[in-house]
């Protein structure tokens, strides 16, 4: 059950690029970051009705890194890159996470985890071959977003909030509020939302964000950040699949080899992880209901 919940995050997040291409291409990426975060967080707070799960400084830190900065950079990438490229750049998360753990916590990467990350990175290198039309601003934004989410992941694991649902909700609300002045400064007042964009917004707010972020933050606590980061290789797989099926994107043969290497790293992790049971803390709660 824990792994089934864990895969919800990369699968829903991998759909971001197709949702933008199909329904949301006419909206500002900066306001899209607001529309993704704030309504999802308010919806979750209506369900949980709980106070801050962390101290104010810690909530501000994780909200900025995991939501405000990450969403801004993510939507810049989503509007400038094909889904396959953007999703696969996000798959560098395991390597970035290990590097940050080494630099900030003094934890040397385990050889197995390092090999898994390098295998996935080799797949990224093949996917981003010279024949791919890459927007380097979008690529830089996606890589920077990965660094932000990696750092916030380490903080959330270290601080161990007891209320996972509340932590997710408050991050989205605070991060969404932080995004408003950036969006207004960079894109002006919010534009009217057409009926065509409504299905995409519903998908992005409810499943992509509310459910996806709850699943991700819960899985950091249950499975650990390194294991969850490997599971995030499903993000580019989802982006590639939806991009090919729905947005008429195409991949060159060597790019498919790159995807194969990414999948191989995921299978290798799961195979070598047999018999390892995740440590489930009582602090991890199921989805709350109003009483």
H or E stretch at 286: none
**Domain range spanning residue 85?**
2-272
User: Is residue 8, in this structure, part of any structural domain at all?
Assistant: yes
User: Is residue 126, in this structure, part of any structural domain at all?
Assistant: yes
Q: Is 158 helix (H, G, I), strand (E, B) or coil?
A: helix
Helices (H), 188-248: 198-202, 212-223, 225-231, 234-246
For residue range 211-230, what is the model confidence (pLDDT) as tens digits? 999 999 998 888 888 878 87
User: Is residue 291, in this structure, part of any structural domain at all?
Assistant: no
Q: How far apart are CA 63 and CA 70, in angstroms?
A: 9
- Please state, rounded to an integer, the average pLDDT across all residues of the chain: 82
Q: What tokens does 120 get? A: 């996935």
Q: How far apart are CA 150 and CA 262, in angstroms?
A: 19
Q: In 3D, which of 7, 30, 35, 34 has the Cα closest to residue 200?
A: 35
pLDDT band at 68 (very low <50, low <70, confident <90, very high): very high
For residue range 1-35, what is the model confidence (pLDDT) as tens digits? 777 898 899 889 888 878 888 898 888 888 988 99
First to last CA, the chain: 25
Domain count, the chain: 1
User: Is residue 288, in this structure, part of any structural domain at all?
Assistant: no
Structure-model confidence comparison of residues 123 and 290, the more confident one = 123
Q: What tokens does 65 get? A: 């890194």
> In the chain, count of helices (H) and strands (E)?
16, 0
Report the predicted TM-score, pTM, of the whole model to 2 decimal places.
0.81
């Amino acid at each position: 059950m824990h792994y089934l919940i864990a895969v919800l995050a990369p699968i829903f997040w991998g759909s971001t690029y197709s949702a933008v291409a199909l329904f949301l291409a006419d909206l500002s990426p900066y306001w899209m970051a607001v529309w993704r975060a704030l309504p999802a967080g308010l919806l979750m707070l209506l369900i949980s009705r709980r106070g801050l799960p962390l101290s104010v400084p810690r909530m501000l830190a994780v909200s900025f890194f995991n939501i405000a900065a990450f969403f801004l950079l993510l939507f810049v990438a989503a509007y400038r890159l094909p889904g396959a490229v953007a999703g696969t750049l996000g798959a560098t998360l395991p390597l970035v996470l290990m590097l940050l753990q080494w630099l900030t916590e003094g934890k040397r990467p385990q050889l197995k985890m390092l090999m898994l990350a390098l295998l996935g990175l080799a797949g990224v290198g093949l996917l981003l071959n010279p024949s791919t039309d890459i927007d380097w601003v979008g690529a830089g934004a996606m890589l920077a977003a990965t660094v932000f989410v990696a750092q916030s992941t380490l903080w959330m694991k270290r601080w161990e909030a007891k209320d996972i649902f509340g932590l997710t909700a408050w991050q989205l609300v605070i991060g969404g509020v932080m995004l408003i002045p950036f969006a207004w400064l960079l894109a002006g007042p919010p534009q009217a939302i057409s009926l065509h964009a409504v299905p995409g917004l519903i998908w992005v707010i409810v499943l992509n964000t509310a459910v996806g972020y709850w699943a991700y933050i819960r899985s950091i606590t249950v499975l650990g950040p390194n294991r969850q980061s490997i599971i995030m290789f499903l993000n580019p797989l989802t982006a590639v699949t939806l991009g090919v099926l729905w947005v008429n994107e195409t991949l060159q043969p060597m790019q498919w080899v790159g995807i194969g290497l990414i999948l191989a790293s995921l299978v290798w992790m799961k195979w070598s992880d047999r018999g390892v049971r995740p440590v489930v803390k009582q602090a991890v709660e199921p989805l709350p209901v109003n009483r």
